[in-house]
Structure 1
Amino acid sequence: MLQKKSRLGKKIDEILVGEKLHLTETIEDKDLLLYLGLTNDSNPLYIQHEYAADTPFKAPIVPPIMLNGIITSAISKHMPGPGSHILEQQLAFLRPAYHYETIDFTLQVNGVDMLNRVVDVGIQAFNANKEPIIEGVVKVTPPY
């Protein structure tokens, strides 16, 4: 599992304000079951159709922390990439995401603080109807 020469992401001096990353994810049953199994989260709002039908959501929704996981994974893999570390997150979950929904995520570098080695990454996510699902900012320190 440990690799001596793995690729690292961008260093602080290689990151430019305005850089963007777009990704699209569809939330499948296997993803939900893995999350729920790993966390032992049995919230009926996430898995029980009968319960969810009697709520304002009308159907089971995706746990917000799963959506957060997609964002943090994108930061770890791509922007700034391997070796980076999240320092702070401020995310607003504006609408629920539903099972089998396809979500478009955009991560954009909004600021680079060279002195403190912090990159502000703006986050936006939209459903297939172009309705906002998530917005916020993640502060990241890139790899050394």
Structure 2
Amino acid sequence: MIGKSIDELKVGDKASFTKTITETDVYLYAGISGDLNPAHINQVESEKTMFKGRIAHGMLTASFISTVLGCYLPGPGTIYLGQTLKFKKPVRFGDTITAVAEVISADQEKNRVILKTTCYNQNDEVVIEGEATAMPPKKA
């Protein structure tokens, strides 16, 4: 299976991925990444922070954008070239996050696509926003 090529993409195309963040997700990410910040894994210490409890790693949440790009839009074969991110709200254990990518420009000559990337929680609040640059797959 191959994703959409540059000539199949148009401004306004959208795709999304939704996942509920679990305590296990956060602990596995902490172990894989080495980010053992108490804000993520220590309830007692995290209660002393401005968040008043544990939060998910921002980059764990942002990784859902990669899922959208690599699996849905443009899809398999896509090369993820860059990303800007603004972390707007904390993500807590049990939050259901939807990552959305929307094509905002496509350059056929350079085979590049720019996508608006936004992650929302279950209350439709923006938790992350940014832009991704990707190289869609070429048709065989």
Q: TM-score range by the shorter chain?
A: over 0.9
SS in 2 for 1:9: coil
> Structure 1 residue 74: deviation in Å?
1.5
State the one-letter code of the partner of 1:108.
Answer: E
Pairing 1:47–2:41 present = yes
Pairing 1:90–2:96 present = no
SS in 1 for 2:114: strand
> Structure 1 residue 103: deviation in Å?
1.4
* Correspondence for 2:70: 76
Identity %: 33
Query: In the aligned structure 2, how far is the partner of 1:25 from the partner of 1:125?
Result: 11
> Structure 1 residue 91: deviation in Å?
1.1
Count of aligned residue pairs for this structure pair = 138
> Structure 1 residue 88: deviation in Å?
1.2
Query: In the aligned structure 1, how far is the partner of 2:98 from the partner of 2:30?
Result: 23
Moved segments of 4+, more than 4 Å: none
Pairing 1:142–2:136 present = yes
SS in 1 for 2:7: helix
* Correspondence for 2:3: 9
SS in 2 for 1:100: coil
* Correspondence for 1:35: 29
CA RMSD of aligned residues (A): 1.1
SS in 1 for 2:89: coil
Query: In the aligned structure 2, how far is the partner of 1:126 from the partner of 1:12?
Result: 27
State the one-letter code of the partner of 1:85.
Answer: I
> Structure 1 residue 117: deviation in Å?
0.8
State the one-letter code of the partner of 2:136.
Answer: P
Q: Is the 8 A contact 2:16 2:72 kept in 1?
A: no
In the alignment, structure 1 segments of 5+ residues that lack a partner are: 1-6
Pairing 1:129–2:123 present = yes
> Structure 1 residue 96: deviation in Å?
0.9
Deviations 1:58-112 (A, max 9, x none): 1111111111211112211111111111111111111111111111222111111
* Correspondence for 1:105: 99
State the one-letter code of the partner of 1:91.
Answer: L
Query: In the aligned structure 1, how far is the partner of 2:53 from the partner of 2:44?
Result: 8
